[in-house]
Structures are given as C-alpha cells and as structure tokens.
Structure 1
Amino acid sequence: MTDVYHRFKQLERSRLEDYFQKIESSQDLQTLLTVTLSHLLDIRERHQYSHHVEEVLDIIKREYQTELTLKEVSDRLFLNTVYLGQIIKKETGATFAELLNRKRIKMAQQLLVTGDYGIEEICFRVGYTNIGYFYKIFKRFCG
C-alpha cells in the first residue's frame, strides 16, 4: 500500500495512517483483504486519469519494448506534444520518460528474477539500446 501512495503522491498521509490502523485491528485474513480492497477502490475512485493519459499509459504498457517518444505518441493521439507532456506530468506526477523508464525497469527486474538472460539481453528486451544508459536508469530506480 505504501507503493500505491508513492505512485499517487497527492494522497494525504493521514489516509495511509488510517489504513495502517485498520490493518492492525484486523483479526483475520478475510477482514484484512476486505479492508485492503475497500481502500484500493477508494483510492481508485479519487484518482481517475483523463482519457488521454489513460491512452498514453496503455501505449507504454503495450509497447515499452519499442522506441517510444512523447512526440510519436502525441502524433498518434493527434495532440500537441507540449500539452500532452503537461497533462501527463500534472495527473501522474511524472514525465513521459519517467513513466516509460519505470515500466522498462519493472520488466527488467522481472526478467532478472524469472529468466535466464544476461544483463545485455535484458537491456535490449525491455527497449533500451544503450547498456550504459540502462545501468544508469536501473541504478536510479533500484539503488
């Protein structure tokens, strides 16, 4: 849940504290799951993205392995590049490049854990063309 709150930076800390109090008072797994599901649905209702940002997130989800740029995506959506960049930043708290890098690094982490691939192969599989840049971004996101 802490990761969810980091993703939606504009949520209040008091909500997280309230959630943790409910977790601590849960007596069984069913209660814990009910509290968590209810809390996630509440967050979702409070934080809906606009249609354009949803489309961008969907494109990133489907095509993160390809060379995606904000310009290319904005052309596809028939939107001004600067405008699209601004609404992405406003609604998600991150730039297009940050969202793309997050997705790529998340997939790289999964490949590292589940696959028998070398670092170089993983780098290319998740959409990076420069291994040095991949290392830099990986270190920034994962430490």
Structure 2
Amino acid sequence: MKPEFEKIVEPAEHSFTAKVVTRASRPLLSQAWHYHPELEICLTVKGRGRRFVGNHISEYEEGELVMFGPNLPHGFTTDVYGSQIVVQMTSDFLGEVFFERPETHVIRNLLNASRQGLEFSGTTKKKSRQIMQKMLHETGLPRLLLFLELLHVLATSTEVSPICSKEYAHGFDVKEMGRIKVVYDHIMENFTQPVSIKEVADKLSITEAAFYKFIRKHTRKTYTQIINEFRINYAAKLLMSTEKSISEVCFDSGYNNISYFNRKFKQLMGKTPAVFRSLYQ
C-alpha cells in the first residue's frame, strides 16, 4: 500500500494555503500516511501522538514545529483530540525565479534542506507560532508578508535539526514507502504481543531473510530496534499516566523480562524506569 497522494486545492484568492486542521483521533498510520508536491509547515497547537516522516518515527506533542519538503511522506497518528496550523505552498508560489534572487538565498537553502524534513525548537517555535496565528486572520498582502517573515525566521534559525538522513531524502521511493506503512501499521497493532517476523513478512509477500534486508535498507534500523522504540515509548506513557508497578508496565508493554526491559528503557530514554517516573512526578 503506497502513501496516499493528497491533492491540495489552493483558494483562488491566495497563492498558498494556511489553515487549522483538527481531528478527534487518527490512531492508524493507514489513515494518515500521505505525500504531496507542496512544501508544508506544521505547528501542533493541541494534541500529542506519534509522528512518521519518511523512515523516521518519533513522538510529538503540543508546540512541535516541523517542515516537510515536496513529496516527503509523512503522517501524524493520535488517539486524542488534536489541532494543528498547517501552511502549504509550492516551491514556485511566487514565481519560478523569486527564490533565486540574492536577497532570498537563505530561504532557498531552507527549501532545499526541507527535503529531509526539519524540526525546530526553542525561541523559533515561539516566534513562528505568533506569526502563524496572525496569518490565519489576514488576507492579501499582509498575509503574504507574514508568510515571508515566517520563512525568514525559519531560514535564519540555528534551532533546527533534520528529521531524515540525506541518503533517504535523495533515494525516496513511493512504492517502497507504501510497504513500510504496512510494517508500521502491523507494529502499531501488535507491539505489545510477541514479535512474529514471519507474520509481517507474509504481509509483504517476501521471505523473512528478504524482510530483514528490506527493513535495514529503508529504516537504517533492525526490526527489533523499531519494536523496542514502540514498546519503550508506550511504557513511558504508562509510567506517567498510571499507578502501575514497573513490573506491570514491563509486561503490559510487551516484555517478559524485567532486567531486559530496564536495560532497554535506560538505553532509549537515558534513565531507568524508576528514575523516569520519579522525575515526572
């Protein structure tokens, strides 16, 4: 199953799209995984969940600011109400040569870098949020000027990090990412259960040996590493939101060995489950 192509319809009175997107929930990647030729800047105003960008998986929460380049597959899954401000535009929305001008070279660099996906932090998020909220209430030239100001803030920020590797960004294949979506959906539905390589390999109609190579090539990780990321993120949520004992959290997250669980939790979260819970509380 390939990532869905999304056709973005720009209002006749605007050269780019700026809107608020809300949803009650969207738990499966198959409901969210898509791509489009437009660049996208996305600010999460409310909500939390799991973010998929290319071959990268991470958690997202309120205040996150990201930018996706053209045709970069992405999707946000969540089981709670969420609200995001989304700005989308083509790379030539102001004409084919506008970003070739000397005055706009920093923005051109930003657009090129966005092919890897970009995540912004610190004061950049605060400044950008103020601008994006103003954009929603403006039209015409004031709206365009605010957008150029937003692009300048992002282009000159040092509080930015790439999401995907350069190798992935230059080697993207829509068909292969559709197969990755099948894998991720299978993991999301089964990560608390015993891992079955054969079961997910059968879904792709390939052998287990071919599946191992496929996962390593397209995610730069092993299947076990991906499973552990899902399980530990889930365990962290249980530690923060329930009174369950650490052993209960261990078993509920899909592990059957507490010492292994503690080791993996510390490896991925930087702290033991007990320390993590005490710091949160």
Q: TM-score, normalised by structure 1?
A: 0.70
Q: Taking structure 1 as reference, are residues 63 and 130 closer, same or farther at Cα in structure 2, changes over 3 Å only?
A: same
CA distance in 1, matches of 2:177, 2:52: 19
1:62 is aligned, of 164, 182, 189, to: 189
Q: Is the 8 A contact 1:23 1:32 kept in 2?
A: no
Q: Taking structure 1 as reference, are residues 131 and 32 closer, same or farther at Cα in structure 2, changes over 3 Å only?
A: farther
Asked if 1:128 corresponds to 2:255, the answer is yes
CA deviation digits over 1:14-38, x for unaligned, max 9? 5449x67x758635352699869xx
1:30 is aligned, of 133, 154, 169, to: 133
The residue that corresponds to 2:241 in the other structure is 114
Q: Taking structure 1 as reference, are residues 100 and 31 closer, same or farther at Cα in structure 2, changes over 3 Å only?
A: farther
Q: Is the 8 A contact 1:64 1:104 kept in 2?
A: yes
The residue that corresponds to 1:78 in the other structure is 205
CA deviation digits over 1:18-60, x for unaligned, max 9? x67x758635352699869xxxxxx89x665533221111111
CA deviation digits over 1:69-93, x for unaligned, max 9? 3234213543111211111111112
Q: TM-score, normalised by structure 2?
A: 0.38
The residue that corresponds to 2:264 in the other structure is 137
Q: Taking structure 1 as reference, are residues 28 and 99 closer, same or farther at Cα in structure 2, changes over 3 Å only?
A: same
The residue that corresponds to 2:56 in the other structure is 7
CA distance in 2, matches of 1:25, 1:58: 35
CA distance in 1, matches of 2:190, 2:243: 22
Asked if 1:92 corresponds to 2:203, the answer is no
Determine which structure has the larger strand proportion and give its number.
2
CA distance in 1, matches of 2:233, 2:217: 22
Q: Taking structure 1 as reference, are residues 120 and 90 closer, same or farther at Cα in structure 2, changes over 3 Å only?
A: same
Determine which structure has the larger helix proportion and give its number.
1
Q: Which runs of 5+ in 1 are unaligned?
A: 37-42
CA distance in 2, matches of 1:141, 1:66: 20
Aligned positions, number: 131
Q: Taking structure 1 as reference, are residues 66 and 32 closer, same or farther at Cα in structure 2, changes over 3 Å only?
A: farther
Q: Taking structure 1 as reference, are residues 29 and 134 closer, same or farther at Cα in structure 2, changes over 3 Å only?
A: same
1:105 is aligned, of 228, 232, 248, to: 232
CA distance in 2, matches of 1:30, 1:86: 45
Q: Taking structure 1 as reference, are residues 28 and 50 closer, same or farther at Cα in structure 2, changes over 3 Å only?
A: closer
For 2:210, the aligned partner's letter is Y
Higher gyration radius (CA) = 2
Q: Which runs of 5+ in 2 are unaligned?
A: 1-41, 43-50, 58-68, 70-109, 137-146, 152-162, 271-281
CA deviation digits over 1:87-121, x for unaligned, max 9? 11111121100000000000000000011111000
Q: Is the 8 A contact 1:71 1:81 kept in 2?
A: yes
